[in-house]
């Protein structure tokens, strides 16, 4: 099998290494919430989803999103890590390994945008903050809760290893809990966890250090982090660079610079069309449906799609650290991937293009794939809440409206 398109050799199809893990190429399926875990446990559909990506040639696929705590979930069909589901998770890792790929699991906590109807209690967060995404206030975490969640990250990583995962990706971006501590928008604390960047980094850095101590020196720890929250008053690039340096110091094996805030700028991290109509039709309460109809177009901002949309900011993160850096965001062609390699990125993470065409890597190897057919309609995002992620355009034809 040749790693060429035409006569051009592609570096992205050569092996790469993260921590002690060697990958067969440099293409990783990014963590995208699949919506295939009824009751918080993996389903056969989730196994098939990731097996198909592995069979399609990706070096590593990422199971997402897995909450480290019961109270860290946004949906009832979202994984939360516990001993009872390790045998089911092992079915995923075994299926992926049989196809010759590695498998990663994304660990996180939703914090203030956890769903109180799912967790049965008021959400926790960096500070008391109203979440427009959930129409609810979170309460400010106590030091005891901070320590408990830190321990939960370590326990989740241990269980991931028991389940056969080759790596973990700690979700430190997109407005998830660790990101909420970093962002001035959600962190208004007056104690040692708030105020200066050094204080705001204290909890996320402690989590990474604890996970590193838990898994040992060589096990790969990827960190998804924000280059920007995507709005004034949030985390900006200059602070993100310092965060990246701290994460490296605390034991990160690789960084995945992304951006956006789930509860405020959710499509900053994806770009393209907002599937508001499909979103409203999903399994939501009457209150949520009415709210989306009245205010959805105001609350959810549109960001035009462009290829490699995080490149400029991610380049500055890459230049500030010595560990591998993974480019994500709008990578939808072999030329995009090769440009990422030329820019000095070690890997690329791809989401929507692999949802549309899970075999694109094998086709690249054969020389018959140059660009994704994904039209960035983002209807796959709405499907995450409606039985599981899939490419609607692929089956029903391109979006016309």
Active-site positions?
A: 176
State the DSSP code for 264. Answer: T
Cα(226)–Cα(243) distance, integer angstroms: 9
Cα(297)–Cα(228) distance, integer angstroms: 22
Cα(297)–Cα(303) distance, integer angstroms: 12
CB neighbour list of residue 332: distance below 8 Å, 6 or more residues apart: 307, 350, 352, 353, 371, 372, 374
Per-residue buried b or exposed e for 326-362, using 16+ beta carbons within 10 Å of the residue's own CB? bbbbbbbbbbbbbbbbeeebbbbbbbbbbbbbbbbbb
Beta-strand pair 16-18/8-9: unpaired
CB neighbour list of residue 333: distance below 8 Å, 6 or more residues apart: 307, 370, 371, 372
Please answer whether residues 119 and 78 qualify as being in contact, where contact means their C-beta atoms are separated by less than 8 angstroms: no
CB neighbour list of residue 369: distance below 8 Å, 6 or more residues apart: 5, 334, 357, 360, 363
> For the chain, what is the total number of helices (H) and then of strands (E)?
15, 16
Cα(180)–Cα(125) distance, integer angstroms: 7
Q: Which two tokens stand for residue 278?
A: 């499909």
Q: What residues are paired with 125 via a beta bridge?
A: 140
Q: Between the CA of residue 266 and those of 231, 274, 373, what are the distances in Å? A: 11, 10, 23
State the DSSP code for 326. Answer: E
Please answer whether residues 35 and 75 qualify as being in contact, where contact means their C-beta atoms are separated by less than 8 angstroms: yes
């Amino acid at each position: 099998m040749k790693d060429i398109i035409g006569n051009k050799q592609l570096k992205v199809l050569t092996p790469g290494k993260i921590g002690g893990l060697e990958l067969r190429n440099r293409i990783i399926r990014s963590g995208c919430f699949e919506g295939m875990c009824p009751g918080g446990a993996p389903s056969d559909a989730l196994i098939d989803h990731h097996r198909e990506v592995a069979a399609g040639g990706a070096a590593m696929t990422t199971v997402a999103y897995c909450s480290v705590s019961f109270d860290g979930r946004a949906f009832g069909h979202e994984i939360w890590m516990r001993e009872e589901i390790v045998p089911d998770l092992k079915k995923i890792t075994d299926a992926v390994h049989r196809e010759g790929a590695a498998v990663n699991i994304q660990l996180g906590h939703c914090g203030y945008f956890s769903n109180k109807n799912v967790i049965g209690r008021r959400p926790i967060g960096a500070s008391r903050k109203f979440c427009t995404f959930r129409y609810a206030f979170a309460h400010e975490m106590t030091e005891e809760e901070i320590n408990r969640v830190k321990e939960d990250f370590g326990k989740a990583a241990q269980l991931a290893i028991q389940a056969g995962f080759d790596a973990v990706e700690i979700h430190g971006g997109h407005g998830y809990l660790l990101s909420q501590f970093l962002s001035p928008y959600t962190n208004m604390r007056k104690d040692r966890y708030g105020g200066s960047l050094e204080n705001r980094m204290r909890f996320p850095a402690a989590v990474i250090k604890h996970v590193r101590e838990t898994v040992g020196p060589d096990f790969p720890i990827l960190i998804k982090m924000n280059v920007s929250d995507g709005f004034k008053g949030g985390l900006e690039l200059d602070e993100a660079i310092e965060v990246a340096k701290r994460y490296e110091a605390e034991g990160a094996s690789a960084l995945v610079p992304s951006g956006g805030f789930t509860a405020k700028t959710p499509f900053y991290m994806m770009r393209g069309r907002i599937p508001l109509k499909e979103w409203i039709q999903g399994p939501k309460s009457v209150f949520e449906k009415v709210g989306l109809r009245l205010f959805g177009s105001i609350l959810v901002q549109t960001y035009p799609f462009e290829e490699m949309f995080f490149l400029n900011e991610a380049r500055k993160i890459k230049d500030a650290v010595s560990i591998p850096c993974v480019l994500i965001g709008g990578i939808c062609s072999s030329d995009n991937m090769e440009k990422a390699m030329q820019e000095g990125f070690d890997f690329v993470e791809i989401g929507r293009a692999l949802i549309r065409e899970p075999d694109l890597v094998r086709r690249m190897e054969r020389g018959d794939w140059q660009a994704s057919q994904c039209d960035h309609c983002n209807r796959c995002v709405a499907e995450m809440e409606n039985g599981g992620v899939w490419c609607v355009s692929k089956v029903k034809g391109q979006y016309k409206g």
